Amino acid sequence: MLHYLNIWLASARYSITRTLMFRGDFFVWALVELFWMAVNLLTISVIYDHTGAIAGWTKYEMILLVGTSLLIQRFLMGFFWSSIFEMGRNIRSGNFDFFLAQPGNVMFMATTRKLDPDSLVNSLIATGVVIYAARQLGLTPGAAEIVLYALMIACGVIIHYSILVLSISVAFWMTSAQGIEGTYFTLTEFSRLPRSAFKSRATQWLFVYALPVVVVSNTPANALIRGFDGRLALWLAGAAAAWFALAVFVFNRGLRRYASASS
């Protein structure tokens, strides 16, 4: 583990150094993400000017839910996004050979090489949104509740990471994974909706069980608002473990089919 930590720290230093070389890009993308987050929150404010609750969720409960979803996405984009989507292009071009020659697990090396500091900076804004909503609701979580919330956020990041790795691994068979980015963003739109808003069995099965994009944000938000639910937390942890195991399996199967640039 110390070996992989040292590798990751070296990659992080490289990413930060590169960002400092192109400060303009950093500020532009940080502002773009900040604007996108602001639009989400303003949309909620406008909607709640005309109603008191949506699917049983009040305005600040919804803000806390959206803040939780944004926090998970900012961590995902900050730590993994660029590396995962670059992986698809590298498989197609043969540049994936670079990762095969590195001193570590191929999946780890390929999905953690780059950091996006702009997304990590905006994760502080998302955290501020969660804290603001919690204060407006009069919530005073203790240390144990905060730790559980953080662990559930980590499980959410793992699930999103696994889904992305699975999606991009299609490139091992099809040589192209175009359209995955747009599909992913469409799916994550549902993570900002309360679980109670999904009334039909079909939508609950699809977005809660088959693709748990709703659970990843609803479970930690519910833990702060309505108290810790052990069954939901175990379901989230189990889903994270299952999706990660599936991602590792499919990635390794795809790796066997990879034809390097030399071949």
Average pLDDT of span 167-182: 73
At 169, is the pLDDT very low, low, confident or very high (cuts 50, 70, 90)? Answer: confident
Q: What is the mean pLDDT of residues 5-13?
A: 86
Q: What is the mean pLDDT of residues 201-218?
A: 78
Share of the chain above pLDDT 70, in %: 95
The answer to whether residue 15 scores a pLDDT higher than 60 is yes
Residue 251 domain flag: yes
Assess whether pLDDT exceeds 70 at residue 176. no
- pLDDT for the residue 247: 94
Task: Specify the pLDDT at position 175.
Answer: 61
pLDDT for residue 212 = 80
Q: CA nearest 154: which of 246, 229, 241, 50? A: 241
Query: Mean pLDDT throughout 179-190?
Result: 70
- Among 2-11, 205-214, 237-246, the minimum mean pLDDT is found in 205-214
For residue 67, what pLDDT is reported?
Answer: 92
How confident is the model over 222-235, as a mean pLDDT? 85
What's the whole-number average pLDDT of the chain? 85
Q: Is residue 262 part of a domain?
A: no
Structural domain includes residue 168:
yes
204 pLDDT higher than 80: no
- pTM, two decimal places: 0.88
Q: What is the pLDDT of residue 182?
A: 64
Question: How many domains, the chain?
Answer: 1
- Mean pLDDT computed over 200-229: 82
Q: Is residue 77 part of a domain?
A: yes
Is 263 inside a domain boundary? no
pLDDT band at 177 (very low <50, low <70, confident <90, very high): low
pLDDT, average across residues 100-122: 87
Domain containing residue 40: 2-257
